[in-house]
Structure 1
């Protein structure tokens, strides 16, 4: 197991949280778990929280443009519903190359912030029911605590019913 505390992706996430004025708990609370957690269930188990408290960062190909959807780990995104909501023709899973290009991070560790450029972002309104939600911190072992309101604010995202 390597120490990823200073991993460039983790550092970018911390800096983006600072720049966005995130709560100290979000910035200082970035944790490196003993093992990679690439699913909401694995992250919830490692943290001892409900799967719904995990804010999955999913990148979609929205008519050729990246779209970040932060959804509750308890949900599956309804791509037809989201496409209709956004008025686009097609919405599908992004390729690993598009994810890497858009976020600077790899699938399994994509954070809601710390990307090379702002991404159009939707935030699942189901996350609002939890006092604390957990999001990826730039690598598959890194997570941080936040809130629904803070996720919306720091990402510039739009609250949406995505299921």
Structure 2
């Protein structure tokens, strides 16, 4: 295995501390979008756990929604679930609050601990793939491990 890039190494170190044997895999091509990631690892788009960062409108707090790659997030529903409206985070806010760039934000290891909501649709899957610090790095885990690692609340967050 080749050496991991610094951001992917940071995620691997966090996974090593958790101690469940997760391995970060860096791909030649992009895993920035759910479709790219699914093609790279050979799974369905639904099995991609995409990390979306929003910002609480009143509190300014980061809100992490980990959603199935097949779903669009209902931002109004997320706002109701957390008790304040949310807005899309700009790239600087994402980098400052997570320590990672958009397209590679993992569900763990954020600079500012976010409020975490997890898409209920992920819970029906055996395994899922999440970003691992760069736009071409991912790792595989179970939905239960995602909940455990993030301390997230499982909720219906999809549109429709």
Note whether the superposition's TM-score is higher than 0.5.
yes
The one of 139, 144, 147 aligned to 1:144: 139
For 1:82, the equivalent position in structure 2 comes to: 78
Q: Write out per-residue CA displacement over residues 1-23 of structure 1, whole angstroms, 9 at most, x where no aligned residue.
A: xx9843221122112222234x2
Segments ≥4 residues shifted beyond 3 Å: 3-6
Are the aligned partners of 1:15 and 1:114 in contact in 2 as well (CA < 8 Å)? no
**Residue of structure 2 in register with 1:58 after alignment:** 52
SS at match of 1:76: coil
Count of residue pairs the alignment pairs up: 156
1:154 equivalent in alignment to 2:152: no
Whether contact under 8 Å (1:5, 1:32) holds in the other structure is: no
Contact 1:9/1:114, CA 8 A, preserved across alignment: no
Cα distance, 1:129 vs structure 2 = 1.3
Match of 2:42 in 1: 48
With the length of structure 1 as denominator, give the TM-score of the two structures.
Answer: 0.90
1:123 maps to which of 108, 115, 118: 118
SS in 2 for 1:152: helix
Cα deviations across residues 27-57 of structure 1 (Å, max 9, x unaligned)? x3x1111112211011111111110000000
Deviation for aligned residue 1:80? 0.4
3-state SS of paired residue (1:123)? strand
- TM-score calculated relative to the size of structure 2: 0.91
Q: CA contact under 8 A between 2:132 and 2:138: conserved in structure 1?
A: yes
> Which of 56, 67, 71 is 2:67 aligned to?
71
Cα RMSD (Å) of the superposition? 1.6
